Amino acid sequence: MGKKIRKAVFPVAGMGTRFLPATKASPKEMLPLVDKPMIQYVVEEAVEAGITQMIMVTGRNKHSIEDHFDKSVELELLLAGKGDEANLEMARKISEMCEFCYIRQKEPKGLGHAILRAREIVGDEPFAVLLGDDIIHSPGRPVIGQLMETFDIKQAPVIAVEKVPMENVSSYGVVDPSGELEGALHQIKSMVEKPPIDKAPSNLAIIGRYILTPEIFDFIDATKPDAKGEIQLTTALNSQLEKTTAYALEFSGTRYDAGDKLGFLIATVEYALRSEPLGEKFREYLKKIKL
């Protein structure tokens, strides 16, 4: 039987410069979409897919994330005293959801560098990576679970991709799919980080969900920093591709680029419209706005 995914790595040590000043003293992953920090949506996605150990790679200002997933005795006492059972249950659920551990990335030297920090805790097994600023709505079918299903069959790295308008490709890692195709699954020939439009091999953009194998750590270790001094995961994966087969899956679900201000606002409006009982009132309000 093939190996199963039990662990997920959440790199949350970026500087979040696109969200300054909100991210000056607090990580962008703690920005709330309606009433939940972004990172909680992503952790819940991993829990729903059956992952049990969450490894957070944090930077400066990590405390709010740790506190959020920790038990808050004061809050629980207060809610119990008020007889607020619903909120008490919700607060308990967050801290009891799964097992968390935290490692520090001392300097934000790129996504590859952040993932390499998790090497010891991950050990010699395949693992998931989820980025907290890609929020994906896919009720009943967590995207990381979709990737895990593919991994179960292929036992090779699987990366989430989405077709984006060609004029946007330079903001993403982009995959060059080989001709071999099984429905939404592509075998990857190569990949490139943030290519100019005329050099982009396709419009299949890499989205922040990955299933990686432990071999990636050696490839990251051997990757040189780019012009900005960052060690890119895409570059390491591209080197791994010379030795291993890897796959890109066009997942089903609606993705929000919540690491960007406009994407975050769009996600906020759409999640607010879906939330109960808020959604109905919010819809009524939006209908009244003159645009």
Binding residues for ligand UTP (CB under 6 A): 11-18, 57, 105, 108-111, 113-114, 131-133, 259
For ligand UTP, the closer CB: 15 or 278: 15
Q: Cα separation of 237 and 251, whole Å?
A: 19
Judge contact between 42 and 10, C-beta under 8 A. yes
| Dihedral sign, Cα of residue 281, residue 283, residue 287, residue 288 | positive
For ligand UTP, the closer CB: 27 or 253: 27
Task: Name the minimum Å distance from CB 1 to ligand UTP.
Answer: 32
Among candidate residues 110, 80, 107, the one with its CA nearest the CA of residue 233:
110
Judge contact between 162 and 251, C-beta under 8 A. yes
CA dihedral 160, 165, 170, 175 (to 10 degrees): 40
Q: Cα separation of 154 and 214, whole Å?
A: 15
Q: Cα separation of 169 and 202, whole Å?
A: 8
For ligand UTP, the closer CB: 19 or 271: 19
Cα 205 from chain centroid (whole Å): 14
Task: Name the minimum Å distance from CB 42 to ligand UTP.
Answer: 9
The helix/strand/coil state of 192 is: strand
For ligand UTP, the closer CB: 214 or 263: 263
Task: Name the minimum Å distance from CB 6 to ligand UTP.
Answer: 21
Task: Name the minimum Å distance from CB 162 to ligand UTP.
Answer: 15
CB-closest chain residue to ligand UTP: 14
Cα 10 from chain centroid (whole Å): 7
For ligand UTP, the closer CB: 126 or 132: 132
For ligand UTP, the closer CB: 108 or 126: 108
Task: Name the minimum Å distance from CB 130 to ligand UTP.
Answer: 9
Task: Name the minimum Å distance from CB 186 to ligand UTP.
Answer: 23
